[in-house]
Structure 1
Amino acid sequence: MSTDLIAEARRQTEICNACRYCEGFCSVFPALTRQKAFADGDISHLANLCHNCRGCYYSCQYTEPHEFALNFPAALAEVRQDSWERLAWPQPLARRFHDSGVALGVVAAATFALVFALLQMMKPTSGEGFYAYFSHNAMVALFAPAFLLPLAAVAISLRRYWAETGGTRLRWRNVVGGFRAAANMKNLNGGQGQGCNFEDEDRYTDTRRWLHQAVMYGFLLCFASTSSGTILHYLFDMQAPYSFFSLPKLLGVPGGILLTIGTVGLAWFKTKADPKLGAQRVWGGEMGFIVLLGATGFTGLALYAATGTALVPVMLAVHLGFVLAFFLLLPYSKMVHGFYRLSALMIEDQKQGISK
């Protein structure tokens, strides 16, 4: 754990705890008022509760040029970033992506797309739709490990985080409380219902919250689409390709649209936001994550639109390249923040129950 980052975040946390002007803001502030002294794990917990809405910064009377020079969003962002990199497994890959995410993501996707294009030279003798270019068994052999192994790496990382921040045995109500907080993203409106200050300084807006919800629900719809296709294939012997009014398409098309709109909006907001209020070193990594996630949704839609044309082989290779790159890099990209934030919300639900 970076001693300097923790020390600076602790200094600012103690000042905020003494002031308490922002007590009604997001869940970070009620959490820090429960105690007077903060262990390293407490600081990590507060950092992963923070949604970087930045409302506290624009409301604070102790920012520069005051001698306290508070920049609480940036202090927590640095600790949060450090926790993702430090607790990742294997660790070196995380820092590499966060330093050069756009380049690494694009190169990985392009390399995998080229591999898939070359594999089409060995396409099966039979099959419909996409399976005319890759057999179902080949798809499973490639993507099952690419999905399961990164999830195992994330699980190891979360176990370390859980131990560090003092999480105890989960109860059902903690799980429900964490998922509820994640689903409605209350903390992205500052906790007071007036909105977020991320992209427009002291002006409030809920747009960032809506874009995050578009990304989250778009991704979940795409995942549900793939899952429903798997169920139809194995349980009901209904094999792809599926019609537009089938469950995989009714879930996947809206999911791809939401994912594309959400990521484009977040990328645009990223260019408007003040970089001094976040972890500046990892701007490229954050943008790389957005590019990978958005390209996964967009190329999926483009592939569906190209159905029945000569573009299918090219679009299929490109889409699969982005999907494979996204999943393999998942434990080391900002995608992992969703797992950490959900864990932090569950731990916070635990701590709230203990304090009552």
Structure 2
Amino acid sequence: MSAEKLQEARRQIEICNACRYCEGYCAVFPAITRQTAFADGDITQLANLCHNCRGCYYACQYTEPHEFAINLPRVLAEVRTDSWRELAWPSGFAKAYDRHGVAMGAMTVLCLFFLILGAGSMRGAGDGEGFYQYLSHGFMVAIFAPAFIVPLLAMVISIRRYWRHVGGGAIGWIAMARAFHDVATLRNLGGGQDQGCNFEDEDRFSNARRIAHQLTLWGFLLCFASTSSATVLHYAFDMQAPYGVFSLPKLFGVPGGLMLSAGTFWMVVLKLQADGDLSDGRVRGGDMAFVLLLFAVSTSGLLLYAATYSGLVPYLLTFHLATVLTLFLTLPYSKFVHGFYRLAALLKNARDAG
């Protein structure tokens, strides 16, 4: 990690620790007050605990043009990015994705689209009903199982590295429950008073970002539950797709897709409205690519369901699978991993708070 960035973050954190005006804003400031000296691992932990809500910046009396030049959201965002890059496994691809994420994501989807299409995704190439008319179940398992397992392994290694770096240890059940509650409710985007943060408008508290994140989080989990339930039905009960409207895959998948599409679209709008000087400008491409990719996955899935039995199915199916495969392949390097880092940071914070 950049020694210069770590030192600048340490300088600003020490000033915040002396001031303590923002102590009730989020979990970062109580965590700061628990110590007087900050090692590199402590700085990394605080950076990943920060949700970039920006309320502290707009309330601070020491921002520029004051000589202290405090900009805690940006410096913590930069340290956070550096930690993801250094702790990622393997790390080389992360830097390129941060700079050119939108272009790389679009190119990967396009290449995979034609690759899957050419590999036999058109009518007559499958071995079953519904979508399996266009792409066999065996082929889907062959390409998606490794594309999911390998990135998942890479993320496990990355989070394990983080846990060691910040000095994490055993977590009790109470601390674990507290951390998962904070994740589920996104309490740290509430501005301390549940009135929201200042992400997209410095003069106004808003829960818009919190709601957009919740739609995205719960929409993604419902979509994952849809895929998982379909897998169980297929292998455990020999119930093969296509599934009816009132089956578990559809009852989870349709609402999940709608929530995920709405949440990611809203997040794109908020990102375009937000002040870029309070985030890490080096990763704007990667940040936007991840949100747009999630939007493409959910929206293409909904369109595919709506177009069932039409002539658009082969092309929509191929595009949807290409976006899902791209999402899987980029998981360890995209902002998707931030959710696991933030959970780890919240777990350690809950344990340290006692």
TM-score (norm 1): 0.97
Tell me, in whole angstroms, the C-alpha distance in 2 between the residues paired with 1:125 and 1:198. 48
Tell me, in whole angstroms, the C-alpha distance in 2 between the residues paired with 1:340 and 1:99. 20
Deviates more, 1:235-244 or 1:112-121: 112-121
How many Å apart are 1:134 and its aligned residue? 1.4
Do 1:89 and 1:156's aligned partners in 2 also have CA atoms closer than 8 Å?
Answer: yes
How many Å apart are 1:137 and its aligned residue? 1.4
Q: In structure 2, what is the equivalent of residue 209 of structure 1? A: 210
Tell me, in whole angstroms, the C-alpha distance in 2 between the residues paired with 1:109 and 1:253. 23
Q: Report the RMSD for the aligned CA atoms in angstroms.
A: 1.0
Q: In structure 1, what is the equivalent of residue 38 of structure 2? A: 38
Q: In structure 2, what is the equivalent of residue 70 of structure 1? A: 70
Q: Deviations over 1:258-315 (max 9, x none)?
A: 1111111100111110000000111111001111111000100011111000000000
Deviates more, 1:164-173 or 1:20-29: 164-173
Do 2:48 and 2:80's aligned partners in 1 also have CA atoms closer than 8 Å?
Answer: yes
Do 1:98 and 1:286's aligned partners in 2 also have CA atoms closer than 8 Å?
Answer: yes
Q: SS in structure 1 opposite 2:107? A: helix
1:198-237 aligned at under 5 Å gives the runs 198-237=199-238
Q: Where in structure 2 are there 5+ consecutive unaligned residues?
A: none
Q: In structure 2, what is the equivalent of residue 28 of structure 1? A: 28
Q: Deviations over 1:20-78 (max 9, x none)?
A: 00011100000000011100000000000100000000000000110001001001000
Do 1:215 and 1:259's aligned partners in 2 also have CA atoms closer than 8 Å?
Answer: yes
Tell me, in whole angstroms, the C-alpha distance in 1 between the residues paired with 2:148 and 2:121. 25
Tell me, in whole angstroms, the C-alpha distance in 2 between the residues paired with 1:252 and 1:108. 25
1:96-175 aligned at under 5 Å gives the runs 96-120=96-120, 123-124=124-125, 126-175=127-176
How many Å apart are 1:208 and its aligned residue? 0.5
CA gap of 1:146–1:95, structure 2 versus 1, over 3 A, is same
Tell me, in whole angstroms, the C-alpha distance in 1 between the residues paired with 2:352 and 2:282. 32
1:1-356 aligned at under 5 Å gives the runs 1-120=1-120, 123-124=124-125, 126-353=127-354
Tell me, in whole angstroms, the C-alpha distance in 2 between the residues paired with 1:181 and 1:161. 20
How many Å apart are 1:329 and its aligned residue? 0.3
Tell me, in whole angstroms, the C-alpha distance in 1 between the residues paired with 2:113 and 2:171. 41
Identity level (%): 58
Do 1:26 and 1:192's aligned partners in 2 also have CA atoms closer than 8 Å?
Answer: no
How many Å apart are 1:125 and its aligned residue? 5.7
CA gap of 1:17–1:106, structure 2 versus 1, over 3 A, is same
1:117 partner amino acid: L
Q: SS in structure 1 opposite 2:243? A: coil
How many Å apart are 1:121 and its aligned residue? 5.8
Q: How many residues align?
A: 353
CA gap of 1:125–1:278, structure 2 versus 1, over 3 A, is closer
Q: Deviations over 1:206-256 (max 9, x none)?
A: 011000000000000000000000011111111000111111001001111
How many Å apart are 1:171 and its aligned residue? 2.7
How many Å apart are 1:175 and its aligned residue? 2.5
2:262 partner amino acid: I
Do 2:126 and 2:136's aligned partners in 1 also have CA atoms closer than 8 Å?
Answer: no
How many Å apart are 1:174 and its aligned residue? 2.9
Do 1:178 and 1:349's aligned partners in 2 also have CA atoms closer than 8 Å?
Answer: yes
How many Å apart are 1:202 and its aligned residue? 2.4
CA gap of 1:172–1:104, structure 2 versus 1, over 3 A, is same
Q: Where in structure 1 are there 5+ consecutive unaligned residues?
A: none
Do 1:188 and 1:195's aligned partners in 2 also have CA atoms closer than 8 Å?
Answer: yes
Do 1:55 and 1:202's aligned partners in 2 also have CA atoms closer than 8 Å?
Answer: no
Tell me, in whole angstroms, the C-alpha distance in 1 between the residues paired with 2:37 and 2:213. 33
1:84 partner amino acid: W
TM-score (norm 2): 0.98
CA gap of 1:286–1:125, structure 2 versus 1, over 3 A, is closer
Tell me, in whole angstroms, the C-alpha distance in 1 between the residues paired with 2:121 and 2:3. 53
CA gap of 1:71–1:84, structure 2 versus 1, over 3 A, is same
Deviates more, 1:169-178 or 1:305-314: 169-178
